[in-house]
Amino acid sequence: MHLSLKILIVLSFLLLPPSSSSSQTLNHQSSFLNPFLQHKNCSLKDYILSIANHVDTADWIKNIRREIHEYPELAFEEIRTSSVIRRELEKMSIGYRWPVAKTGVVAVIGSGLPPFVALRADMDALPLQELVEWEHKSKIDGKMHACGHDAHVAMLLGAAKILKQLESELQGTVVLIFQPAEERGEGAKEMIKEGVLENVEAIFGLHLVLSSDSGVVATKPGEFLAGCGCFKAVIHGKGGDAAIPQDSVNPILAVSASIISLQHIVSREADPLDTPVVSVAIVEGGSELNVIPDSVSMAGTYRAFSKKTFYALGERIKEVIKAQASVYGCSSVVDLEGNDYPSVPPTVNDKRIYEHAVQVSSMIVGEHNIELSPPFMGSEDLAFYLEKIPGTLAFLGMRNVKAGFVHSPHSPYYTVNEQVLPTGSALHAAFAYTYLLNQLLAN
């Protein structure tokens, strides 16, 4: 740490007015969110925003997003996307590790020493046909970036550009995680298995949303996004002639009873304040009007905000289906961990990291552009990281009704408001820089 910066820190303490211990703690934290950069002759906020909003940087971020958008790739297929990431990292002389979890990239900026803080962007697309007609429409039939992951990658690369220019000032190491397969709910788990969180103390994720106006940051402490689980069951009976029902064991009756009983879990057993959901969405069985089938399958989803409720809900679904199958003389196999639709736990923001993210966001976008978000039933596999280390997910709004930025994610008409991309880069960079500085001062 530079001597001049140490002197400035000491002076900032001396100049603080006397107050209660709680106020002193708050001032202690906030006084380092926007330090004066002695060697840049400006504040951190001004320096970060000047880079992010410079026309060359803004155009560069936008062009990266458009390049990725034209060639969307599904989960664990992000070969071209990762090559774009590596190309840009190499241009900035930023070291990285690849491949991680098949197609992921992990880069580092800073001293290489503790503390470590991570920033994460997902990079996979969806199996959708894009219906938006514009110059950079998807060139791959049946695939589209309809959830903003192309923009997430571009924003994190923008943050890399900012942090690289601040590298000599970083009081630790920033880990940049470019993650595959978020939409499959598997990418984060695979990245964790390959050690991307080694030595990392905190993680920050940013997701573009159309639920908030352009430039607004929305998040909440604690339970933020619901966990998403899926179940599939096969109930086996004994097929036969429908006109002679006593000669068969009807799995359709068992499935019907199971569906009704599953709805009772939410209406009669669950805490209504926890707002869990159980939905059966698929029932398959039988091929003839007068023949009872040997087996019937059913599948659906369940969601909850509380981790305790979420995991208990899965077990209760299994119990109910097996019990109803037994009542009707059938056997059953229930799968809660299917490869097609793996479970994702609730996204729970750490209170301390949440507060830091809100303070940093206020610095970048202004207090008037900070919202306390309601909980969302959607899920995010950033939750797997948050089960391992403290962190937070924040939403960056991009809604602009007049400009047509209104279509929800996973829609073939989804579009990204590219004006907010520099803001996203600035938020990432400011979060990482100030987190490292605060950790240094706390120790």
Binding residues: 147, 149, 183, 207, 410
Q: Residues marked as binding for Mn(2+)?
A: 147, 149, 183, 207, 410
The phi-psi region of residue 223 (left if phi > 0; otherwise alpha if psi is between -120 and 50; otherwise beta) is beta
**∠ CA 298-303-305 to the nearest 5 degrees?**
165
Tokens 């352009």, located at residue: 214
- Residue (of 6, 15, 350, 436) closest to 24 by Cα position: 15
CA distance 134 to 413: 11
How many other C-beta atoms are found inside a 10 Å radius of the C-beta of residue 269? 12
* Residue with token string 């019990």: 323
- Rounded-to-integer distance, Cα 415 and Cα 225, Å: 22
Q: Is 189 helix (H, G, I), strand (E, B) or coil?
A: helix
- 212 close to 371: Cβ distance less than 8 angstroms: yes
Q: Which two tokens stand for residue 79?
A: 């070969």
Per-residue b or e along 399-428, where b marks 16 or more CB atoms closer than 10 Å to that residue's CB: bbeeeebeeebebeebbbbbebbbbbbbbb
Q: What is the DSSP letter of 240?
A: E
Both structure tokens of 321: 């289906």
